[in-house]
Amino acid sequence: MEESVDIAKHEKYHQLKSDIPGENPKTTKQKSETWFNIRNRSSVTGNTCLTASGQGKLKDMQAHYDRVKTGIDNRQFTEAQVSNMNYGTSHEIDTIATVVARVLPSMFPELDYFEEGCTPLPKAKNPLFMVVSPDGS
């Protein structure tokens, strides 16, 4: 059994190599300048949907409103939150490697994994009301 996987070379993994010219959110590489521009123009992201929908503390909802409507960003993260976010970011590839190298071949051999940029969910007059960035499909 393999101990490590070079995810970029795995036959089931299809990575977005770089931004494709134009602004197609689905094919925009995550964490690229274009991706950040798309997310920054949205009112809600996958990360902020609970707070934006009133599922958090009042001060967090107010901070979200201020950030979206006035551009004032007063978010303050504790050391533990920053540590957890950094851990999640650095180990995201491990989860994807497990899915691609172990889960897909054993349970869904006919499926491949495709990296994605982001998906806008429009509302009325705002085509970028909510933008979510799945790790892949």
Task: Give 74-113 pLDDT, tens digit per residue.
Answer: 888 899 999 999 999 899 889 888 989 999 999 999 999 9
Using DSSP bridges, classify how beta strands 113-114 and 13-14 pair: parallel, antiparallel or unpaired: parallel
Mean pLDDT for all residues in the chain? 86
Residue 46 has pLDDT above 60, yes or no: yes
pLDDT at 126: 84
pLDDT interval class at 19 (50, 70, 90): low
Q: Would you say residue 108 lies in a domain?
A: yes
Q: Would you say residue 10 lies in a domain?
A: no
Token pair for 83: 């540590």
Number of domains in the chain: 1
Q: Would you say residue 11 lies in a domain?
A: no
Mean pLDDT of 36-56: 90
Kindly list the distances between the CA atom of residue 13 and the CA atoms of 17, 39, 103, 112, in Å, as whole numbers in the listed order.
Answer: 12, 25, 12, 6
Cite the DSSP H helix spans in the chain: 33-40, 49-52, 58-65, 79-98, 104-107
Residue 20 has pLDDT above 70, yes or no: no
Please give the residue range of the domain that contains residue 75: 25-132
| Bigger pLDDT: 131 vs 3 | 131
pLDDT at 29: 85
Q: Would you say residue 106 lies in a domain?
A: yes
Q: Would you say residue 19 lies in a domain?
A: no
129 CB-contact burial (10 Å; exposed 0-12 / middle 13-18 / buried 19+): middle
pLDDT at 22: 67
Instruction: State the Cα–Cα distance between residues 12 and 109, nearest whole angstrom.
Output: 9
Q: Would you say residue 8 lies in a domain?
A: no
pLDDT at 10: 82
Q: Would you say residue 85 lies in a domain?
A: yes
Mean pLDDT of 1-5: 63
Q: In 3D, which of 41, 65, 33 has the Cα closest to residue 52?
A: 65
Q: Would you say residue 3 lies in a domain?
A: no
Instruction: State the Cα–Cα distance between residues 46 and 26, nearest whole angstrom.
Output: 15
The pTM (predicted TM-score) of the whole model is 0.74
